[in-house]
Chains A and B, each alone.
Chain A
Amino acid sequence: MNEPSPVVDVRGLVKHHGEGQGRVRAVDAVDLEVPQGQTLAVMGPSGCGKSTLLHLLGGLERPTGGEVRLAGRRIDTLGEPALARLRRRSVGFVFQAFHLVEELSAAENVELPALLAGCSRREARRRAGLLLERVGLADRARHLPSRLSGGQRQRVAIARALANDPLIVLADEPTGNLDTAATLEVLRIFEELRSAGQTLVIVTHDERVAATADRLISMRDGMFVDDTRLAGAGAGPVPEAGTGTGWLGGLIGLEG
């Protein structure tokens, strides 16, 4: 029987920043497999290459060397338009600085990925409504980001990351700008995502966040120095790229 291919499969990944003597090896020949449904936490000191790794996994940066496969499809050789289409359908990002569009309401921010993916306005609005309800912000749907607290903004950002039911969610220090209460609220959502079988890669400094993961990788100087299983990682069948079977799929009845 064939083993199901992992959602993320990275071989000999290298990323250099800068030139000559100022060159920095942000990611230094790392190998990584993330099975479907696994929550992976990546920890390490500032500047160890965690965020760069996340950007490489999501196709926001191009590697200097090595291979990145998402659901079996090699993405490091794709052109920009193909990468954009991949991100649209298969990847959701959550950033430390939230990166919400300031002049759009919470609901409009969450609708945006669905609209970019070609959904009708009605469908995009329906999905946004369900997702905001799920992150506890149904009553804040019409608020602008500037009128939301940091925790609420991050929950909007998580809802937006899930709008197209992605194959994988990549979170870069999702609790870095949050107080304890807001952090706990975000952790609760991540826990729900993990339970629903959503594949998650979380870069964090926060041990509370790392503790919710199935697996913890420690990085230093661009390399993995430790890889620990914290709980039994899921290894279910991998869906085709662009159709997750995660939280939103269950929520709104999308078929894998």
Chain B
Amino acid sequence: MGSIVLVARLVLADVRRHQVQAAMLLLAVTVATATMALGLSLRGVSDAMYEQTRAATAGPDVVALSGDTGPAVTSALAELADAPEVTAHHGPYQVVYADLTTRGSTSSPVVVQGFAETPGPLNRPLVTSGRWVRPGGAVLERGFATALGVGVGDHVTIAGRSYPVAGIAVTAATSIYPWAAQIGPYGGPSDYTGLAWMTRADARALASSRDLPVTTALDLKLRDPAATESFIDAHRVPITFHSWQFTAGQDMVILRNSQPILVVGSWLLGFLAVTGIAVLAAGRAVAQTRRAGLLKAVGATPGLIATVLLAEYLALALAGDALGLVIAHLTAPAVASPTASRIGGAAGPDGATVVAATVLAVAVAVLSALRPTLRAMRTATVRALSAPAHQPRHRPWLTALSALLPTPLLLGLRLTARRPGRAVLQACSTATTVIGIVALLVIGAQPERGYGLDGSSALPNLRGEHDRRVMLAVTVLLIALAVVNTITFTWTTAMEARANVAIARTLGATPSQISLGLSTAQLLPSLPGAVAGVPLGIGLCAMFTVGKWTLPPSSWLFGAALATLVVTAALTALPARLAARRPVAQALSAEST
């Protein structure tokens, strides 16, 4: 118990003394775990929202769809309704294929389902605003209405006839917008299509007025809702069946790219978090070693020392993990349902998601802090108490090479050479950022078909927009962490080299030369990182893209790498300038004591 109190006290004291570093660790882990939890939750949230919509709308277990109409089809569907596995049915009802135009002249394919004015016990669309169908009025599916920008009271023109929008509703009997048609006219393939409801009489009148294509549908409720596959297998008739499981799976089509973007994005964010926090931990290595020496001197065991040193990182990482999971929970419904075709929120992340996010958080903490912790544990007590400074290796070839360069490059190269591991981390951090930017450019470069009539982009491709939004969010997070990392790297380098910087100043190096040298020390490793990031980003996109895809113009990719380097240079300028202007005498005195 005493040990736990001691560890808690030491951890709290250390967090209070290093608030900025604690905040950075918390932020990095929160961002990484939130992204991962969101990516892993999408399927579950999408399923949960379908389930809630299905429950609220008395969704059918199976929808039987025929490309034809007439007595033969009606008879075949009636036979299905009488099957022993079926406990209730709705229909058959007509599905009319038409074009819909709004007052703003946006046109889209639409399927119109003819429903009773008083819905039955099965497939009862939930009216979210306005009222249910009445003669002369239409009800629009909510995802479709949202895309069109149409509300209750507006007028829409369907196949040349004007209808007031009586209400907005959702249903679980069809896939989300724009996959409401399920089958095309005469049973053929369907295009991006919205959904509307009218009274049966209005639907019939609409179909006959323009001789529009019509199909027939029947909603079925089974005795065993899970037994849809066996029901479909047992009724091999020329009819298309869509089980509720199929429809739920269809909802994920719109998220097909979002999930890998978020999951892979979380790996990249996790990696950036490790690089940034590892540099912070390394910057504190001397102090941590001295702390370990103090604890050893008063009789602490190696296990207790490791616990004290790791506990801070683990505690902050777990706090970040919890925060990330909460953020993922709150944002998941918006990310998982970009069409408004479904209702409801989502339960918290499932057990597997919580475990995966926590593993990521713990990995970030342990990978960042393990090396300094082991070093502190292994250093002999007396040596630890004298806090030996890091002794960089002598690199005569590099010293000779740098002597040929102008002073800022000379200083920059020698500062880089002091910490080659740090340079590798900086290169990896830059490469990771460029990978994210390249992926964003690749997604932006893909041609896509709009959801409007004949592929018009008057109604944008929601899946493409969603992918771009998610990728943009991940890229912004990657850039934000990379910005924090770059500033951290520069400041840590400056602090570790403050003695050498002060010596160089006594020998006549100007603050500008020092500042440029510090910036150069960050830019030198960033250069190969930016160059490597371009092919790595393209390779990553190739791994997750199915079918043909378009590469962005080379100028975009080159510009991304160049812009990253320019921004890196700009970001290093301020901390480098601040470090270069620290009083020399003060720095030398600190080194002497």
- Chain A residues engaging chain B, CB cutoff 8 angstroms: 51-52, 55, 58, 60-61, 80-81, 84-89, 93, 95-97, 99-105, 108, 111-113, 115-117, 121, 124, 142, 144, 146, 160, 164
Contact = CB atoms under 8 A, between A and B. Distances in A.
| Interface majority SS (helix, strand, loop, mixed), chain B | helix
Contacts of A80: 510-511, 581
Nearest to B418: A103
Contact of A88 (B392, B507, B588, B591): B507
A103 B392 contact: yes
Given A55-B585, A81-B512, A104-B394, A99 B410 contact: no
Contact of A58 (B396, B403, B506, B510): B506
Interface string B249-290: 000000000000000000000000000000000000000000
Contacts of B510: 80-81, 84-85
A108 B399 contact: yes
Nearest to A102: B391
B503 A99 contact: yes
Given A84-B509, A95-B592, A124 B499 contact: no
Nearest to B411: A116
B592 A96 contact: yes
Contacts, number: 96
Contacts of B404: 121
Given A87-B506, A115-B410, A117-B508, 9 more contacts: A55-B585, A60-B583, A85-B510, A88-B509, A95-B588, A99-B591, A101-B503, A124-B403, A160-B507
Interface string B330-372: 0000000000000000000000000000000000000000000
Interface in B485-502: 499-500, 502
B542 interface: no
Nearest to B395: A103
Contacts of B500: 101
Given A60-B584, A84-B508, A87-B508, A121 B400 contact: yes
Contacts of A58: 506
A53 to B, nearest CB: 11
22 contacts: A51-B585, A52-B585, A58-B506, A60-B506, A60-B583, A61-B583, A80-B581, A81-B511, A87-B507, A88-B508, A88-B509, A99-B502, A99-B503, A99-B506, A99-B588, A99-B592, A101-B500, A103-B392, A103-B414, A104-B414, A108-B396, A124-B403
Nearest to B592: A97
A103 B403 contact: no
B508 A104 contact: no
Interface in B375-421: 389, 391-396, 399-400, 403-404, 407, 410, 414, 417-418
A127 to B, nearest CB: 13
A96 B510 CA distance: 23
A155 B477 CA distance: 53
Given A80-B581, A121-B404, A113 B392 contact: no
Contacts of A81: 510-512
A164 B404 CA distance: 18
A110 B229 CA distance: 84
Nearest to A55: B585
Nearest to B499: A99
A117 B513 CA distance: 12
Contacts of A87: 505-508
A155 to B, nearest CB: 17
Interface in B538-593: 581, 583-585, 588, 591-592
B473 interface: no
B504 interface: yes
A146 B391 contact: yes
A164 B417 CA distance: 26
Given A55-B585, A99-B503, A116 B509 contact: yes
A19 B282 CA distance: 35
Contacts of B392: 102-103
A145 B585 CA distance: 22
Nearest to A146: B391
Most chain A CB within 10 A, of B500, B512, B592, is at: B592
Nearest to A160: B507
B70 to A, nearest CB: 90
A84 B511 contact: yes
Interface in B130-189: none
A104 B399 contact: yes
A52 to B, nearest CB: 8
Contacts of B395: 103
Contacts of A95: 588, 592
A168 to B, nearest CB: 13
A115 B407 contact: yes
Which 9 pairs from chain A and chain B are nearest by CB?
A88-B508, A84-B510, A103-B392, A97-B592, A121-B403, A81-B510, A113-B507, A55-B585, A87-B508
B507 A103 contact: no
Most chain B CB within 10 A, of A61, A99, A100, is at: A99
B509 A144 contact: no
Contacts of B396: 105, 108, 142
A87 B512 CA distance: 15
B398 to A, nearest CB: 10
A112 B407 CA distance: 10
A108 B417 CA distance: 15
Contacts of A85: 508, 510
A103 B77 CA distance: 87
B571 to A, nearest CB: 23
A132 B526 CA distance: 38
Given A81-B510, A89-B508, A99-B591, A61 B585 contact: yes
A86 B506 CA distance: 10
Contacts of A93: 506-507
A116 B584 CA distance: 17
B412 to A, nearest CB: 14
Contact of B507 (A96, A102, A112, A146): A112
A144 B588 CA distance: 20
Contact of A84 (B418, B502, B505): B505
A145 to B, nearest CB: 10
Contacts of B504: 112, 116
A112 B395 CA distance: 15
